Structure 1
């Protein structure tokens, strides 16, 4: 075979990238189903590979460990797609930071929060079970908590900077309450203890933050 023919038969970088993305999508989809159906401990990488229709070695090549794959499953559920854009830089969050009124911002922030809870809530429960077993997942869970706190603080800092907070309202205190309302640990508790729907959780967020920030005459 000539060198020209060999070069023509090799996949282009774009084609290779698409194949990698497709394989990773298959693995993430398969892993998500199995983690939710069986839990973290009972799910093996071999099972995930079989469900995804790929060789077992492929899972190790793409993700290395079960914990790394689970983290990717959760990360994708948080944002809703495979695009490398974190929650803080998604359009919904930007709307929550820039809407004209505080009421509009609270509504938008609640929409973002409940959207995350709907997509990732069941996985948060799996993560809560696995966190004590895997240091890597415990570290990822804490990073997620820290990111939530930072996002809540940014929300209230933006509102304060734009003159939307009444006198006497403190972003740091509002951050604590907001974090309690929408963090992953609260989502897990609400699902386990109360079985609330997303709509009810959204109402709790909106009603509580509206009451806390209502201007007092």
Structure 2
């Protein structure tokens, strides 16, 4: 009698294959560059047949989508965003923006760099990056609207958004943490203090 493999088991195996491909691709994209990394190279490093990768995920763009999805899960910024809206004090809400930004960049600054590189050569990737950044901007703006009555004189929500996006720029994180040796916690504290001093009464 033939014993059938449970569907759940096959699905788990398929998900693990996708996760392994994504982990390997993320490392190679960061080390060698998105454009220079081929699916064949990912296949060799991951020990997974190239055809299996195409069947499971498809193109490099689809692999990067999988990497991005895992980054969002690992960062879990949605939970932090909910906390920011529930914080009673305006300063606490603004500081949580620093926490969210620290968390996003701590676990995914390399992913943003991959998109930046890919977008320079691929119009589709450039559009994807713009959508990601637009969604991020929308979240920041929604939080700033909750503190609009506490903004410093002359600081509109629009100006607060401009200042916040400038201070939360990935290049500042890369400089301070990756190049100057700051800990992510020190970066978060610095950013939180700066946002409060720049935005609030």
Which residue, out of 171, 179, 198, partners 1:195?
Answer: 179
Identify the residue that residue 100 of structure 2 maps to in structure 1: 112
SS at match of 1:132: helix
Identify the residue that residue 38 of structure 1 maps to in structure 2: 32
Give me the whole-angstrom Cα distance separating, in 2, the residues matched to 1:154 and 1:214.
Answer: 16
| Greater Cα offset, 17-26 or 65-74 | 65-74
TM-score by length of structure 2 reads 0.85
Runs of 4+ in 1 over 4 A off after TM superposition: 163-169
Identify the residue that residue 170 of structure 1 maps to in structure 2: 156
SS at match of 1:80: helix
Give me the whole-angstrom Cα distance separating, in 2, the residues matched to 1:112 and 1:214.
Answer: 19
Mark the CA change 1:189 to 1:102 in structure 2 (over 3 Å): closer, same or farther.
Answer: closer
TM-score by length of structure 1 reads 0.79
**Which one has the largest radius of gyration?**
1
Give me the whole-angstrom Cα distance separating, in 2, the residues matched to 1:157 and 1:101.
Answer: 13
Structure scoring higher RCO (CA < 8 A, sep ≥ 6) equals 2
Give me the whole-angstrom Cα distance separating, in 1, the residues matched to 2:196 and 2:28.
Answer: 39
Give me the whole-angstrom Cα distance separating, in 2, the residues matched to 1:148 and 1:155.
Answer: 11
Identify the residue that residue 93 of structure 1 maps to in structure 2: 81
- Gap regions ≥5 residues in structure 2: none
Give deviations 1:134-175, integer Å, cap 9, x for gaps. 222111110111011101111112334xx6556764322212
Q: Is the 8 A contact 1:103 1:210 kept in 2?
A: yes
RMSD of Structure 2 on Structure 1 (CA): 2.5
SS at match of 2:35: coil
Give deviations 1:55-89, integer Å, cap 9, x for gaps. 111211122211221232134224417xxxx74xx
Q: Is the 8 A contact 2:29 2:114 kept in 1?
A: yes
Give deviations 1:29-71, integer Å, cap 9, x for gaps. 1111111121112211112122222211121112221122123
Give me the whole-angstrom Cα distance separating, in 2, the residues matched to 1:166 and 1:101.
Answer: 15
Give deviations 1:158-198, integer Å, cap 9, x for gaps. 334xx65567643222122112222xxx2146526983533
| Residue 165 of structure 2 corresponds to residue 179 of structure 1 | yes
| Residue 138 of structure 2 corresponds to residue 126 of structure 1 | no
Identify the residue that residue 64 of structure 1 maps to in structure 2: 58
Give me the whole-angstrom Cα distance separating, in 1, the residues matched to 2:144 and 2:23.
Answer: 35
Give me the whole-angstrom Cα distance separating, in 2, the residues matched to 1:74 and 1:175.
Answer: 24
- Gap regions ≥5 residues in structure 1: none
